[in-house]
């Protein structure tokens, strides 16, 4: 059996009907199109898949490879070829994160200042909302006028529901923005046609702040604001299970990734041990 454009479209439709997020659908679809290009019209079999896994490893990090493999395995199950499933790479949980991907609080403040200086009021509030609540960018449509009035937003995605509290100062600023923009109900962050803002547009707008803010582009994307929230929350209340509930994580192991210390902080701890004498 070959991987075809039509087969990938059918797979995308199945993911949509299974209520997968748009981000997941796009990510899995891209992974299948890359596999299709690699096969170049050849039949799909276990041997070629194992070769493809090795090819991916030559150019990508292990976590990136596993995302691609997860997409491929899901496609194999969908097409009745579950016997061809290939194992994901085993990755030991890291004790620290790399600074080149971690957005610091001072860098975050410089991004906010840059947004204000450019007159990007909506973008400024989007960043405040993501970092002040810890929600995902895909959950932004649940921040509505009604949610601001009640002080809490009910997030409903993938068959799960959780309640997110909106800080008092954030509510005040959002309400002020709604009054100034003539928004009386529904989505706060919307396009001119009234639809929710597109996640890719928010990401591009954030990237445009980098030069003015003096922040590396690799650190600036919406999900990093969720990580910033998690680290800041954990620094105040060192309760990992509670943080997992706040973030909506099914597994506490996912939450651990969010609060891992930086490599520099890890090195400072090693140095304080004074064992290298």
The CATH code of domain 99-266 reads 1.10.443.10
User: What band does 121 get if pLDDT is binned at 50, 70 and 90?
Assistant: very high
Residues 156-184 have a mean pLDDT of 93
How does DSSP classify residue 139? Answer: G
Residue 51 and residue 57: Cα distance in Å, rounded? 10
Predicted confidence at residue 23, as pLDDT, reads 83
User: What band does 100 get if pLDDT is binned at 50, 70 and 90?
Assistant: low
Q: What is the pLDDT of residues 185-206, one digit of tens each?
A: 999 999 988 899 998 899 999 9
Predicted confidence at residue 99, as pLDDT, reads 63
Q: Domain map of the chain by residue range?
A: 5-84, 99-266
Predicted confidence at residue 141, as pLDDT, reads 95
In the predicted structure, residue 150 carries a pLDDT above the cut 90: yes
Mean pLDDT of all residues belonging to the chain: 90
User: What band does 91 get if pLDDT is binned at 50, 70 and 90?
Assistant: confident
User: What band does 5 get if pLDDT is binned at 50, 70 and 90?
Assistant: very high
- CB-based burial of residue 145 (10 Å sphere; 0-12 exposed, 13-18 middle, 19+ buried)? middle
Predicted confidence at residue 95, as pLDDT, reads 58
In the predicted structure, residue 154 carries a pLDDT above the cut 80: yes
For residue 77, what are the contacts with CB-CB under 8 A and spacing of at least 6? Answer: 85
* Collapsed DSSP state (helix, strand, coil) of residue 207: helix
Residue 229 and residue 247: Cα distance in Å, rounded? 9
Residues 144-160 have a mean pLDDT of 92
How does DSSP classify residue 90? Answer: P
The share of the chain scoring above pLDDT 70, in percent, equals 93
Residue 168 and residue 33: Cα distance in Å, rounded? 45
Predicted confidence at residue 260, as pLDDT, reads 76
User: What band does 106 get if pLDDT is binned at 50, 70 and 90?
Assistant: very high
In the predicted structure, residue 268 carries a pLDDT above the cut 80: no
* Collapsed DSSP state (helix, strand, coil) of residue 208: coil
Predicted confidence at residue 259, as pLDDT, reads 81
In the predicted structure, residue 37 carries a pLDDT above the cut 70: yes
Report the predicted TM-score, pTM, of the whole model to 2 decimal places: 0.71
- Residue pair 193/276 in contact (Cβ under 8 Å)? The answer is no
Tell me which H or E stretch contains 165: strand 160-165
Residue 184 and residue 197: Cα distance in Å, rounded? 17
Residue 69 and residue 204: Cα distance in Å, rounded? 28
* Collapsed DSSP state (helix, strand, coil) of residue 149: helix
Predicted confidence at residue 146, as pLDDT, reads 97
CATH code 3.40.50.10860 for 5-84: no
Tell me which H or E stretch contains 164: strand 160-165
Q: What is the pLDDT of residues 242-261, one digit of tens each?
A: 999 999 998 888 888 888 76
Tokens of 252: 């506490």
Domains 5-84 and 99-266 share a fold: no
């Amino acid at each position: 059996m070959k991987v075809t454009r039509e087969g990938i479209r059918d797979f995308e439709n199945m993911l949509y009907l299974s209520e997968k997020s748009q981000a997941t659908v796009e990510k899995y679809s891209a992974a299948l199109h890359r596999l299709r290009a690699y096969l170049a019209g050849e039949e799909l079999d276990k041997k070629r898949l194992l070769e493809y896994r090795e090819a991916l490893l030559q150019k990508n990090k292990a976590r990136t490879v596993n995302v691609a493999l997860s997409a491929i395995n899901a496609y194999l199950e969908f097409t009745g070829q579950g016997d061809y499933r290939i194992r994901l790479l085993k990755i030991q949980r890291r004790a620290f994160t790399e600074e080149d991907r971690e957005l610091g609080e001072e860098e975050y403040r410089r991004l906010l200042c840059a947004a204000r200086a450019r007159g990007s009021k909506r973008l400024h509030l989007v960043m405040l909302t993501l970092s002040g609540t810890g929600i995902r960018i895909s959950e932004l449509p649940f921040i509505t006028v009604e949610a601001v009035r009640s002080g809490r937003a009910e997030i409903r995605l993938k068959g799960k529901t959780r309640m997110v509290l909106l800080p008092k100062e954030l509510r005040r600023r959002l309400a002020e923005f709604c009054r100034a923009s003539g928004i009386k109900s529904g989505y706060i962050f919307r396009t001119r046609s009234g639809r929710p803002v597109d996640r890719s547009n928010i990401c591009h707008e954030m990237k445009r702040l980098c030069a003015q803010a003096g922040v590396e582009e690799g650190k600036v994307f919406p999900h990093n604001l969720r990580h910033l929230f998690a680290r800041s929350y954990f620094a105040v209340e060192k309760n990992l299970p509670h943080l997992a509930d706040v973030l909506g994580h099914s597994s506490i192991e996912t939450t651990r990734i969010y609060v891992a210390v930086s490599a520099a902080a890890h090195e400072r701890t090693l140095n304080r041990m004074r064992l290298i004498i």
